[in-house]
Structure 1
Amino acid sequence: MSERASVRVEERPDRVVVTLDRPDKRNAVDADMVAELHEVCAAVEREPRLLLLTGGADGIFAAGADIAQLRERNRTDALAAINSALFARIRALPLPTVAAVDGPALGGGAELSYACDLRVCTARAFFGQPEVRLGIIAGAGATHRLPALVGEARAKELLFTGRRVDAAEALRIGLVNRVVDEPTELLGAAHELLDEMARASSLALRLTKLAVDAPAAAHPQLDLVSQAVLFEDEEKRRRMTEFLERRRDR
């Protein structure tokens, strides 16, 4: 486990577990956290692994961006894409990512969870985009990722009103993939989901994510090229041979 000022990082052979660690600031996303998460992304880009992002054991995922810092930012800072560039980098990581959310995921914290491929949350989790009430927009990904997750009309309602979404509604509208009753079950459920993915071919998983995230115009050509690469992969031959042998031995 390596500790930085704002996050704790646990490296495993097949995954990296990142815990946001600013409990005194309710895990608000500040410049230091952004820099440290960029370091994590660089490591996972060099050595592709699954990634789990969570908020620790204090019942808080991330209660937004650091408002004190945000208040002082100017148009140059906005154009620098401080948070949105990080979240885009997380979204583009080679292998799947999972956000494990307990308690509030608001503003930039919600957008951080949207940047992950999948979301697991507790029954007491809730999501919200209060930016318009603070005189800004949800400019770190919510305006395009939220419509993709829950549909345009519902996303507009949430972005226009700042209304919070509880765990039950989040599951119903497709914002999260799984909900657990107790906070103590959260990390287990997230790791279980990662375990399911870890059983797959890493290259097939990587190319599947690339294809799903690609613009519509890239299909079907991207699918065909990806499949051509996989058809020549030795792991594909090994896995299919093992499958046929297991079926024969039944």
Structure 2
Amino acid sequence: MSGSAPLRVQRHDDYVLAALNSPEKRNAIDQELIDALHSLCAELEEQPRTLVLCGAEGFFASGADIAQLRERRAADALKGINLRAFQRINELPMPVIAVVSGYALGGGAELAYAADIRIGTPTLKVGNPETGLGIIAGAGAGWRLRELVGEPLAAEILLAGRVLGAEESLRAGLITHLEENFEAALARAEKIAGRIASLDPAATQASKRVLRAPRAAHPQIDLDEQSVLFESPEKTRRMTEFLEKKKSR
């Protein structure tokens, strides 16, 4: 791992740990980081593993790189530079776990929203202050945040710039665990990644597809995914093992 790389990546048997690595600018999201995220997504699409995302030095991401953002024009907005990367992360085959500590603002918050599971620390500050900079939260918050915390709270975050602390984020369901510090939060994420690794990868991937599907796709997608799994040798093996263990008790 290079210390100057925008994304420090550690590959484990059960999961991949990726840390945003620009602490001198509070891990602001710039084009170099976006390119690194796309590269990592390509790897995880080819070889699916759980992704654990965090920020170097105990904080997540303060937002997009404002110096770069200031120079972008309409054509850049239509490219969806950050949105496309975050959408790709959200659509990875296996779960994505974000360890969200310190500032997760603007684009940093939207990157956290793209994860399947979020774990926080007491220093967490999360929100979308984009309207104060003359833009919208255009990389997923406009629809994803409403699904995560409900429309009334999403409206106050997006329209009034409300920033949530750790306890508020836990109550709202934006994070599902609140740990005492970054190390404990990372340990929790690694434990969850290990639990996921013990499950059937095909069933986990199917469950994620069903979970992410629009309401109109149900119940047919549930039936289609289950029909494939019902023919799986792994389903037969795991159920046989379960029944044999039950019989031996």
Name the structure 1 match of 2:159.
160
How much does 1:201 deviate? 0.5
1:89-100 equivalences under 5 Å are 89-100=88-99
Name the structure 1 match of 2:147.
148
SS of equivalent residue, structure 2 residue 68: helix
Cα shift readout 1:212-248 (whole Å, capped 9, x = no counterpart):
1011111111111100110111111111011101111
2:226 aligned with 1:227: yes
Cα shift readout 1:55-98 (whole Å, capped 9, x = no counterpart):
02x23200000000001100000001000000000000001000
CA distance in 2, matches of 1:195, 1:165: 29
Percent of pairs with identical residues = 49
How much does 1:183 deviate? 2.3
State the TM-score, normalized to the length of structure 1.
0.97
Name the structure 2 match of 1:28.
28
Cα shift readout 1:189-208 (whole Å, capped 9, x = no counterpart):
11111122222100000000
How much does 1:4 deviate? 6.4
Name the structure 2 match of 1:42.
42
How much does 1:19 deviate? 0.6
2:110 aligned with 1:80: no
Residue 14 of structure 2 contacts residue 193 of structure 2 at CA under 8 Å; is this kept in 1?
no
Name the structure 1 match of 2:211.
212
Alpha-carbon spacing, 1:239–1:4, altered in 2? closer, same or farther (3 Å): farther
2:134 aligned with 1:135: yes
How much does 1:163 deviate? 1.3
- Which structure 1 residue ranges, 5 or more long, are not aligned? none
Name the structure 2 match of 1:122.
121
1:149-188 equivalences under 5 Å are 149-188=148-187
| C-alpha RMSD over aligned residues | 1.1
Name the structure 2 match of 1:195.
194
Name the structure 2 match of 1:7.
7
Residue 2 of structure 1 contacts residue 10 of structure 1 at CA under 8 Å; is this kept in 2?
no
Name the structure 1 match of 2:109.
110
SS of equivalent residue, structure 1 residue 48: coil
Residue 11 of structure 1 contacts residue 17 of structure 1 at CA under 8 Å; is this kept in 2?
yes
CA distance in 1, matches of 2:128, 2:136: 9
CA distance in 2, matches of 1:197, 1:168: 26
How much does 1:2 deviate? 6.3
Which sits farther off after the overlay, 11-20 or 227-236?
11-20
Runs of 4+ deviating beyond 6 Å: none
- Which structure 2 residue ranges, 5 or more long, are not aligned? none
CA distance in 2, matches of 1:195, 1:2: 26
Cα shift readout 1:166-192 (whole Å, capped 9, x = no counterpart):
110101011011110122212101111
How much does 1:44 deviate? 0.1
Name the structure 2 match of 1:52.
52
CA distance in 2, matches of 1:134, 1:222: 41
How much does 1:160 deviate? 0.8
Alpha-carbon spacing, 1:234–1:66, altered in 2? closer, same or farther (3 Å): same
CA distance in 1, matches of 2:183, 2:97: 17
SS of equivalent residue, structure 1 residue 39: helix
How much does 1:3 deviate? 6.2
CA distance in 2, matches of 1:184, 1:198: 21
SS of equivalent residue, structure 2 residue 18: strand
Which sits farther off after the overlay, 192-201 or 223-232?
192-201
**Letter aligned with residue 44 of structure 2:** V
